[in-house]
Structures are given as C-alpha cells and as structure tokens.
Amino acid sequence: MIKTIFITGATAGFGEAGARLFAKQDARLVLSGRRTEKLEELQAELGGEESIHIITLDVRRRGHVEAAVRELPDRFKDVDVLINNAGLALGLGPAHEADLDDWETMIDTNIKGMIYCTRNLLPGMKSRNMGHVINLGSIAGDWPYPGGNVYGATKAFVKQFSRNLRADLFGTGIRVTNIEPGLSETEFSIVRLKGDREKAGEIYKGLDPLRPQDIAEIISWTVNLPAHVNINRVEVMPTCQSWGPLAVHRETQGS
Ligand code: NDP
Ligand code: 8X3
C-alpha cells in the first residue's frame, strides 16, 4: 500500500533524510518547513508534484498549520504517518543567563508546533482507524545536562505527550512512537550556536556521531513493522556517547 507521510522540518537533518528514504519506498510525501527554496529542490529531486506536496510552514503558527492540513490536495489528504520532526535548541547557557526569547521559541516550536500538527491530523486518522504519529524527542528529555534547561524540558513534554496519546488512542489502529536520538550531526548545533559553524563543527570533531540517515532508518523501521506492532519509544545514541557520573560539588555552601 502506498503510504502518505507528512514530515515537518523536511528541509534539513532527520526530516530531509526521512524524505529521501521514504521517497525511495515510493511513499506520497507532504514536506514542510520554512525554507521554500529547499522544499522546491527536494520536490524536483524526489519525484515532482505527483508524489511530493510541499508546504512552506512555520509550525509555530497555529492558523497556518490548520490551513495547511485543511487545504491538503485530495491526493495527499489521507495522511498515514505524521512525523513531528521540526524542532530546535537555542543556546547552551545556564538558566540564570538564558535568553527568554530563546526559551519561548523552543517551547513554541518543539511543544506547540508538535501539538498543532498532531491535533489537526488526528481526526482524519481516527476516522480511518489507522495512522502513525512519530515524535522526535531526545535523550535530552531523559537525561539532564548543564545548559539543557528548556530544550530538555520540551523533549520531556514530547515523551509524556507521546505516552498520553497512546492512552487516548487505545482501541484504535493508530500507533504512536517517540524517537529519542543522542548526538547527531545535522544543522542542529549550527542553529543552537546561532550560526557559528566553526564552534558547531568542534562538537563533532574526532568522534563518530549519529547521522541523519541512521534516524531515518529507525523511523522507517517503526513505520514498516506490521500494523499490530507499536514501538513506544526508541532511545538511541552513537556508540561513542554514554552517561557520566552524577556531579558532586565539594565546596557547595551549607555542606
Ligand atoms: P536540523 O536543524 O538539521 O533540522 C531541523 C528542521 O526543523 C529543519 O528542517 C527546520 O526547517 C525545521 N524547523 C525549525 N523550526 C521550525 C519551525 N518553526 N517551523 C517549521 N520547521 C521548523 O535539526 P535535526 O534534524 O537534528 O532535528 C530534528 C529534530 O530532532 C528536532 O526536533 C531536534 O530537537 C531533534 N533532535 C536532534 C538531535 C541532534 O543531535 N541533532 C538529537 C535528538 C533530537 P526550516 O529552518 O526550513 O524551517
Ligand atoms: C539533541 C541531543 O544531547 O545534544 O536533542 O541535547 S543533545
């Protein structure tokens, strides 16, 4: 069966890799993101208007998300898989120095954008009694680290929202999966470090991070399993990444 797959944040990283992989599987794709030119390039490269519908969409704009879903052409209306991938981290500073605008942008994108897309596409899935919502969480939603503050908290929201969705959708054929990658080389660090490519490059220097294709393969695996199999959550790190010990400060005041 040809699947219709709606990907948010398809212009880079995991979303773009997913678009490329699903195009090879002859899926019908709805690709969205803010960069129209990149979407047009992908549409031309991956199959043209027949199989790829593109939407310039900022997921933070609730009305635009509603309209984008409402105005899907008939051929692309019955969305089988929603990949809530659009997201970002901004900044790595401690909470007492962080920029509140950055915090709001992360909340608006990673949380609100995800719920707008989900809420608008779920009724169609429910009426067909089939579908799959895949959310891009992160290991940052499980494991705290200095500077993770609001970014990690948005991904903890993704985790619990994914679980609660499963509870609400109990008894339907709709699957929900939360994919939680660790260190992955995409545009993620360039965005987090506000365009400082050199500093971003240093994060991955001398190590072997996850690649966008790795995550695309995992998403594809969860989608292509038989309909009675629901992968709830996948936590994945590159082999070079692991946990550190809990921090103990020996000169903490009051101790
Ligand atoms: P990239 O920066 O490479 O890609 C992010 C994508 O999100 C881009 O296509 C961007 O498109 C889109 N995007 C950002 N803001 C918006 C917005 N307001 N509206 C619509 N689209 C938006 O990052 P990744 O591929 O690495 O990240 C994808 C997801 O995976 C994110 O949710 C991220 O938090 C998560 N993640 C990333 C990890 C990593 O280490 N890379 C690890 C764990 C999770 P455009 O700019 O065109 O709008
Ligand atoms: C991205 C993974 O650990 O850089 O979600 O925050 S991390």
How many angstroms separate the CA atoms of 246 and 248, rounded? Answer: 7
What confidence score (pLDDT) does residue 1 get? 85
Whole-prediction pTM: 0.98
Confirm or reject: Cβ of 151 under 6 Å from ligand 1: no
Confirm or reject: Cβ of 150 under 6 Å from ligand 2: no
DSSP string, 53-68: EEEE--TT-HHHHHHH
Question: Does some domain include residue 246?
Answer: no
CB 55 within 8 A of CB 32: yes
Which numbered atom of ligand 2 lies nearest the CA of 192? 4
How many A from CA of 8 to the centre of ligand 1? 9
Question: Does some domain include residue 205?
Answer: no
Q: Is the pLDDT confidence value at 191 over 60?
A: yes
Confirm or reject: Cβ of 139 under 6 Å from ligand 2: yes
CB 90 within 8 A of CB 105: yes
Question: Does some domain include residue 20?
Answer: yes
177 by Cβ neighbours in 10 Å (0-12 / 13-18 / 19+) ranks as buried
Q: Is the pLDDT confidence value at 255 over 80?
A: no
How many A from CA of 88 to the centre of ligand 1? 5
**What is the residue range of 218's domain?**
4-182+212-236
Domain count, the chain: 1
Which numbered atom of ligand 1 lies nearest the CA of 16? 9
Question: Does some domain include residue 79?
Answer: yes
Question: Does some domain include residue 242?
Answer: no
Question: Does some domain include residue 174?
Answer: yes
CB 4 within 8 A of CB 28: yes
Between the CA atoms of 226, 230, 235 and 238, what dihedral angle is there, to the nearest 10 degrees? 10
What confidence score (pLDDT) does residue 120 get? 98
pLDDT in tens, 130-159: 999 999 999 999 999 999 999 999 999 999
Which numbered atom of ligand 2 lies nearest the CA of 152? 6
How many angstroms separate the CA atoms of 184 and 21, rounded? Answer: 17
Question: Does some domain include residue 35?
Answer: yes
Q: Give the pLDDT mean for 33-47.
A: 98
Active-site residues: which are they? 151
Question: Does some domain include residue 249?
Answer: no
How many A from CA of 67 to the centre of ligand 1? 22
How many A from CA of 136 to the centre of ligand 1? 9
Provide the CATH number for the domain around residue 82: 3.40.50.720
